[in-house]
Structure 1
């Protein structure tokens, strides 16, 4: 399928919460997961302190970039039912927010949207400044202030349920490429091969594949440093997933897979096509896998060049949202159509299948339950097959198919 334009979710996400149940621990957990994945975060995380009776006694914020904790609550005395916001203390804490904007952080956390922001005070100006600079913002909004929040953002926001799964859905599969590249450890590159059908990157510990884009695909340009690509480290090659050159994007995906699909990876064999056992028309398959009609009778097959009984690419718009299970060729990662397809298939169980599928649990956060890829067992044979224009069946002679599944909750 051809590359699809990437559309990220609205720049401001708001976790909506009921009275007395601010999602502070949830946001802290999400921030910790993103940090562990290598994303650059900034801003403030709030912690509300209460006494044994449940009375609010103080509010603190933690600067994500420094770890410094600041009190932003102002006590009204022991007989008061609560504490109030200390505007001066919040102004001091806002330095962390401004640093995140200046450094163009991957995500800015604003502790909450309250009456202060509703009136244009507090961190209201910082939120709008972040959006103007292209920095996505995540905050918490009390349910009683939804109308005020919508007016403040002009409706350019996404309301998020207070759950980790909902936060990852908002974060979006468009960021899957950055996530994969972030996890790659640097290593010397032994060999880079760009064949007619497949691109290959090899290191001492692994070999990765990605489908080579067809010549003439928009964005395909000759590599300015051809013949020296292997001189770059694996981390640098993986960073090419962010390139606007389709050939470089494929090389970046192959480099990512060289890290994740290691020779010593201990995973069960399997090709993933029969991952879910969904019968009949409940399964939608992206890509005309050989023998798919026999292996998954009744499945709806979508392909860029549909054969008899198959559907054209446009059918993804109405077939994927209603599917129970989706089997997706891993070539959708290389050609950048995967994020759009994953959003359409957000209600289905999804398996990614093919030589270019990364064998990593990083995929599960983006809705991919099963990833079934290739682990090379004969790197030299694999390189010959790629060089000579081999297809997927030729590659499989020089590797074994392995599958990684999302762990049970």
Structure 2
């Protein structure tokens, strides 16, 4: 008997910037056929910075949440702005409560491992039973596993594999309760 498809997909095997670009491309395609919630990371675009953290962009309304503290050109340090991530997580929780087919959360990293960042949004999606697409910073795999095992599957950073995962969750017509018509089927 086939094992049921896990509702959380973790994309690994590529640098974070490439994974975020992949998430942006996939969500642009998927938005026409489903209700998406969540946030995807975007670069801050500032030259000569050691910190690559930039913004989290909402998939529902395009709002940008800063997740970095700019220490100036030439700075060797990187300071994440947990406040921006917490505001983004609250917005994603509202979007989940309003109803969605998929939640995309850019990454489970330092803030989430410490109990902050997007962690509440992950929890809200899991509690609501909504599929989640994310990535996990290599340094925080153990924290992720403690948080989400056995709910996830690891996928390579390949659009066709991620698309196949998403299609497998959406395809069963039997999953739609009797009397309910789904706009995305």
TM-score bracket, normalised by the shorter chain, equals: 0.7 to 0.9
Relative distance call for 1:10 and 1:82 in structure 2 (3 A) is farther
- Taking the TM superposition and a 5 Å limit, the aligned residue runs for 1:212-291 are 242-244=176-178
Aligned CA distance change for structure 1 residues 143 and 82 (closer, same or farther; 3 Å): same
| Structure of higher RCO (CA pairs closer than 8 Å, 6+ residues apart) | 2
The 5 Å alignment of 1:116-131 reads 116-131=111-126
SS of 2:129's equivalent?
coil
Counterpart for residue 32 of structure 1: 28
CA distance in 1, matches of 2:52, 2:159: 27
Unaligned ranges ≥5, structure 1: 179-239, 257-409
- Where 2:100 maps in the other structure, the secondary structure is coil
For residue 100 of structure 1, what is the aligned residue in structure 2?
Answer: 95
- Map 1:297-376 onto structure 2 (within 5 A): none
Secondary structure in structure 1 of the residue aligned to 2:38: strand
Change (3 A) 1:74 1:53: closer
- Gap runs ≥5 in structure 2: none
Tell me: CA distance 1:83–1:17, structure 2 relative to 1, closer, same or farther (3 Å).
farther
Residue by residue, what CA displacement relative to the aligned partner does 1:85-144 show, whole Å, maximum 9, x if unpaired? 111122222232112220231001112110111121212122122111112211111234
CA contact 1:26–1:164 (8 Å) conserved in 2:
yes
The alignment partner of 1:23 has SS state of helix
- 2:107 is matched with which residue? 112
Q: How far did 1:23 drift? A: 0.8
Matched, 1:44 2:39: yes
1:162 to 2:96 alignment: no
- How many pairs does the alignment contain? 183
Rate the CA distance shift 1:163–1:42 in 2: closer, same or farther, 3 A. same
Q: CA deviation at 1:172?
A: 3.5
Question: Superposition RMSD on alpha carbons, in Å?
Answer: 3.2
Indicate whether 1:153 and 2:148 are aligned.
yes
- 8 Å Cα contact 1:16/1:161 also seen in 2: yes
1:107 touches 1:137 (CA, 8 Å); kept in 2? Answer: yes
Q: Does structure 2 conserve the Cα–Cα contact (< 8 Å) formed by 1:47 and 1:60? A: yes
- Residue from 69, 73, 81 that aligns with 2:68: 73
Higher Cα radius of gyration: 1
Q: Supply the distance in 2 between the matched residues of 1:58 and 1:110 (Cα, whole angstroms).
A: 15
